[in-house]
Structure 1
Amino acid sequence: MKNLFKVIAVAALFIFGAQNVQAQSLSTSQDQRPEEVAKMKTSNLNDALTLTGEQQRYIFRALTANEVNMRKNVTGKDMNNAEVKSKKIELDEQLDGAMKKTLTADQYAKYKAMQKQ
Structure 2
Amino acid sequence: MKNLLSIGVLAFVMMFGINSAVAQELKQDNDRPEVVAKKQSQELDKTLDLTDDQERTVFRALVSNEMNYRKHINGQDASNASVIANKKKFDSGLDAAMKKTLNEAQYKKWKAL
TM-score by length of structure 1 reads 0.71
Structure 1 runs of 4+ off > 4 angstroms? none
Alignment of 1:25-36 (within 5 A): 32-36=31-35
Shift of 1:101: 0.2
- State which structure, 1 or 2, has the greater radius of gyration over its C-alpha atoms: 2
Q: Distance in 1 between matches of 2:62 and 2:51?
A: 16
2:26 is equivalent to residue 45 of structure 1: no
1:47 corresponds to which letter in structure 2?
K
Provide the secondary structure at the position in 2 that maps to 1:39.
Answer: helix
> Equivalent residue for 1:85?
84
* Runs of 5+ unmatched residues, structure 1: 1-26
Percent of pairs with identical residues: 48
Shift of 1:59: 0.3
More helix by share: 2
Alignment of 1:38-117 (within 5 A): 38-114=37-113
CA RMSD of aligned residues (A): 1.0
